Amino acid sequence: MDYTITSIAPIILLPFFAFVIGAFVVSKSQKLAVGISTAAIIGSFLFSLRVFFDFVFGKYATNYYIHKYFTWFDISSETQEFVVNMGIYFDNMSAVMMLMVTGVGSLIHVFSIFYMKEDKRVGHFFVYMSLFISAMIGLVLSDNLFSLFVFWEIMGFCSYSLIGFYVKAEGAGVASLKAFMTTRMGDVFFLLGILSIWTTIGSVTYVDIYKAIHLGEFNGITALGMPLVTFAGLAIFMGTVGKSAQFPLQVWLPDAMWGPTPCSALIHAATMVSAGVYLSLRIYPLLDAGGLTTIVAYVGAITAFGAATMALVQTDIKAVMAYSTISQLGYMVLGIGVGAWNAAFMHLIAHAIFKAALFLSCGSIIHELHDHHTHSHVQEMTRMGGLRKKMPITFMVMLFCTFAISGVPFFSGFVSKDRILGDALLRATESGTFIPVAILGFSAAFLTAFYMFRMMFLTFFGEPKDKDLYHHTHQEHLSITRNVPLIILATFTLGIFFSGSLTGQGFVKVFPKDHGYEWFQTLIEKPDGKNYLEHKKQLFAFEDVKPELELRHGHYDPNHGMDEHQAHHSHAVHGWGAIMSIIIAFSGIFLSYSVYYKKRFSPDFFVNRVPGYYKALRNKYYFDYFYIDILIQKVLFGLNNLIAFFDMGIYDRYVVDGWEKVNKVCFKIAKRFDDSVIDLGVDFTGFTVKGGSSLLKVVQSGKVQLYFIIAIVVVAGYIATLLYGGI
């Protein structure tokens, strides 16, 4: 059977109904809300799985997509038409993304049952998670930027609510506010970008945008002094910058760790933050046509490197994860900038899996480390150590994920990151502007390996630093809700699921490259307007299903469209890139091993070399200081107070109320009003029953009307004289 809206709708409807039902039952039964939410996401996952296999590996393959839409609202009048549509656009990329969201989401839901079981508001947590999941699925299904924006904002709301989940903590309140406002900063630009496209081509569906770019419909149109494509691309990319915590709006993500750890895993590692990257992947033709790839690459490179340096000095285990997430998102954005579209998407998926697992492992550790003196959970790595023996399963999972994120061969992170870096290197050999991008990218890879193993050594190896805490920690036994999700996620950090050639293109080919092995590269295509042109007719006839196109079997060719010389060059560069990646990853691990395991030299060795830089790192490069202490506290609040003072203290007081004398007269009149009219007003309602005095009161209350009549007559007469009396 063909895929229609009915095959896909359950994926979003299940979690959405779970949210609606959950919202009503949660105050009665927390457990019921948990059950409904978890069941819904697992059901949603099963539907996604089916769609995934049918799409990506099934009969539809490469160019197949569904585009179906309906009218959300319509304000057309006789002369002008304006319809706002919502719709589903579903292709291989959506299928992969959907599988990741529901799959990782299901596992996190299961883990949350363990993690949140002691919380009094566990049901509320799951209700928000269901709303979040449905919004995320909605975002992936969206066929146009406007409906994507709708779901994007709803996710922002869920993120806000979940960061501030521990409502008794002031810090959680501040963090949630900060997260919402920072991302909204990007969102308002995003909205502007949508408006600029909408008002130019009359539609914001991906397909129409791709086509318009291909056909040059934006040519010659400007907005605020730059070409429209550049303006729109930049504005929409700002959405990515906010949501995916890119430089310079990265400040919110570390604070987002105030939320419960499973929510960090789902929202602030796997899905919502990658939705920003997903957006950039979807609008890639716009970024490309707008000439923005260099900016995108630099933003990504700076983010990847800067966040990695900040991760070096963190002592809170979740903070390390947060900075590492920012850094890895930076890689994805860098990948988009250097044209490694597929690799960036692969990294998105790979990262979602290993980072979710890392966060859940952190949750598993934090949950067990309970300080009996302060009745709080411990997140500081300075109080951990030696946990390998107490938590062997968590340790193994974390080790796998750390290999993946550090770029050790045979793990997913290597496959994707290496391709991004290989393309960065290739661009650097072509153009000098990309040399810093490549350098920053490789340096960040080194730092990543270093700080991730630093975390591993501090947490799991060595002697326990807090003996008391260590002894109170329970020995880990295999439990379904705690460990099974972790083990499943850790399994999928293996590179084999992403690429048959295991180590990336151009180097050590274990399996022959073939359709199916390189599925990520062969079956998911970079959007291109010309692919949609031939189907103009069907689309305008509102066909919901596009007929099958040529099925591209056979080889993935990374050098497609290049001549022999270029292909050879590309091949060589990627080969060198892979070798460099491996060397860099292992040297990072080795350095970490020497410092934190063998303790050949102390970390202070570095700190003492560059104390000023260390301080800057501890202070997050003073971004928070600059944004909060200067821009908000000084500039914005100053402006607010100034304007509010002007409004009431100066304008209202002196200009509106007049100078003091007139003011006093006003009050005298007011007083008289008060004595004569208001007091009567209180009494006058009694007139109907008090026959005798009623006459008098009618007359008196008539005074008000009399005022009006006099005023009206006087003014009317005056005007009449003025206008037609020939004065």
Partner 1 sequence: MHGLLSWILWMPVIGLVGVLLIPKGKDQIVRYFSLVNTIVTMVLSGILYMNFDNTISGIQPHLMERVPWIEQFNIFYYLGVDGLSLPMILLTSLLFFICILSSWTITKSVRAYFALFLMLQASVNGVFMSLDFFLFYVFWEVMLIPMFFLIGIWGGENKEYAAVKFFLYTFFGSILMLVGMVALYYVTSDPTTGLGSFDLIGLKGGQFRHLTVPIFGYELPFNHLFFIFMFIGFAIKVPVFPFHTWLPHAHVQAPTAVSVILAGVLLKMGTYGFLRISFPIFPESTVYFATAIAVLGLINVIYGALCAMAQNDMKKLIAYSSVSHMGFVMLGMSAMTIQGMNGAVLQMFNHGTSTAMMFLLVGILYERSHHRWIVRPDGTKGFGGLYTQLPKYTVVFIIAMFASMGLPGLSGFISEALIFIGMYKVYTTITVLAVIGLLIGAAYLLWMFKRMFYGEVIDSVKGYTDMNGREIFYMLPLCVAVILFGIYPTPVLDMMKASVGDLVRLLGSF
- Residue 379 to residue 509: CA distance in whole angstroms: 42
| Distance of closest approach, residue 21 Cβ to partner 1, in angstroms | 15
Exactly one of 70, 659, 673, 698 binds partner 1 (CB under 8 A); that residue is: 673
184 part of the interface to partner 1, by CB under 8 A:
yes
C-beta of residue 430 within 8 angstroms of C-beta of residue 344: no
670 part of the interface to partner 1, by CB under 8 A:
yes
Q: Is 504 left (phi over 0), alpha (psi -120 to 50) or beta?
A: left
- Judged by CB, which is closer to partner 1: 23, or 616? 23
Burial 497-526 (b: 16+ CB within 10 A, else e): bbbbbbbbbbbeeeeebebebbbbbbbbbe
Angle between helices 206-215 and 170-201 (to 10 degrees): 50
For partner 1, which stretch binds (CB under 8 A), given 288-296, 317-325, 537-545, 651-659? Answer: 651-659
628 part of the interface to partner 1, by CB under 8 A:
no
Amino acid identity at 214 = H
Tokens of 283: 């609008």
- Judged by CB, which is closer to partner 1: 134, or 364? 134
Q: What is the DSSP string of 663-711?
A: HHHHHHHHHHHIIIIIHHHHHHGGGGT-HHHHHHHHHHHHHHHHHHHHH
Burial 98-137 (b: 16+ CB within 10 A, else e): bbbbbbbbbbbbbbbbbbbeeeeebbbbbbbbbbbbbbbb
For residue 571, give the nearest of 504, 495, 500, 498 by alpha carbon.
504
Site for partner 1 in 7-46 (CB under 8 A): 27
173 part of the interface to partner 1, by CB under 8 A:
yes
| Distance of closest approach, residue 379 Cβ to partner 1, in angstroms | 20
Which residues on adjacent β-strands are paired with residue 532?
A: none
Exactly one of 176, 230, 483, 592 binds partner 1 (CB under 8 A); that residue is: 176
629 part of the interface to partner 1, by CB under 8 A:
no
151 part of the interface to partner 1, by CB under 8 A:
yes
* Sequence-separated (6 or more) residues with CB below 8 Å from residue 353: 100, 104, 270, 412, 489, 492, 493
608 part of the interface to partner 1, by CB under 8 A:
no
223 part of the interface to partner 1, by CB under 8 A:
yes
Alpha carbons within 13 A on the beta-carbon side of 361: 32
* Sequence-separated (6 or more) residues with CB below 8 Å from residue 395: 387, 388, 460
Site for partner 1 in 194-213 (CB under 8 A): 195-196, 198-199
- Residue 203 to residue 206: CA distance in whole angstroms: 9
- 377: enclosing H helix or E strand: strand 376-377
- Residue 384 to residue 378: CA distance in whole angstroms: 9
Site for partner 1 in 542-561 (CB under 8 A): none
C-beta of residue 623 within 8 angstroms of C-beta of residue 250: yes
For partner 1, which stretch binds (CB under 8 A), given 359-367, 389-397, 423-431, 673-681? Answer: 673-681
118 part of the interface to partner 1, by CB under 8 A:
no
The footprint of partner 1 on this chain (CB under 8 A) covers a number of residues equal to 86
For residue 250, give the nearest of 351, 323, 147 by alpha carbon.
323
6 part of the interface to partner 1, by CB under 8 A:
no
Exactly one of 21, 39, 42, 177 binds partner 1 (CB under 8 A); that residue is: 177
| Distance of closest approach, residue 688 Cβ to partner 1, in angstroms | 5
660 part of the interface to partner 1, by CB under 8 A:
no
562 part of the interface to partner 1, by CB under 8 A:
no
669 part of the interface to partner 1, by CB under 8 A:
yes
* Sequence-separated (6 or more) residues with CB below 8 Å from residue 104: 266, 270, 271, 352, 353, 356, 489
695 part of the interface to partner 1, by CB under 8 A:
no
- Judged by CB, which is closer to partner 1: 508, or 716? 716
- Residue 669 to residue 69: CA distance in whole angstroms: 64
For residue 265, give the nearest of 371, 411, 108, 146 by alpha carbon.
108
| Distance of closest approach, residue 679 Cβ to partner 1, in angstroms | 9
- Judged by CB, which is closer to partner 1: 480, or 720? 720
State the binding string over 130-149 for partner 1 (x if CB under 8 A, else -). ----------------x--x
Exactly one of 9, 188, 610, 698 binds partner 1 (CB under 8 A); that residue is: 188
| Distance of closest approach, residue 167 Cβ to partner 1, in angstroms | 4
State the binding string over 460-479 for partner 1 (x if CB under 8 A, else -). --------------------
- How far does the chain reach from its first CA to its final CA, in angstroms? 85
What letter does residue 545 receive in the DSSP assignment? B
For partner 1, which stretch binds (CB under 8 A), given 28-36, 93-101, 270-278, 685-693? Answer: 685-693
Exactly one of 6, 374, 475, 688 binds partner 1 (CB under 8 A); that residue is: 688
For residue 513, give the nearest of 575, 462, 556 by alpha carbon.
556
Beta-carbon neighbour count of residue 588 at 10 Å?
A: 22
Exactly one of 75, 471, 561, 691 binds partner 1 (CB under 8 A); that residue is: 75
Exactly one of 2, 78, 563, 564 binds partner 1 (CB under 8 A); that residue is: 78
For partner 1, which stretch binds (CB under 8 A), given 245-253, 470-478, 618-626, 669-677? Answer: 669-677
371 part of the interface to partner 1, by CB under 8 A:
no
For partner 1, which stretch binds (CB under 8 A), given 156-164, 401-409, 467-475, 621-629? Answer: 156-164
Site for partner 1 in 397-456 (CB under 8 A): none
| Distance of closest approach, residue 267 Cβ to partner 1, in angstroms | 17
640 part of the interface to partner 1, by CB under 8 A:
yes
86 part of the interface to partner 1, by CB under 8 A:
no
Exactly one of 22, 87, 103, 164 binds partner 1 (CB under 8 A); that residue is: 164
Tokens of 341: 């579209």
633 part of the interface to partner 1, by CB under 8 A:
no
67: three-class secondary structure by DSSP: strand
82 part of the interface to partner 1, by CB under 8 A:
yes
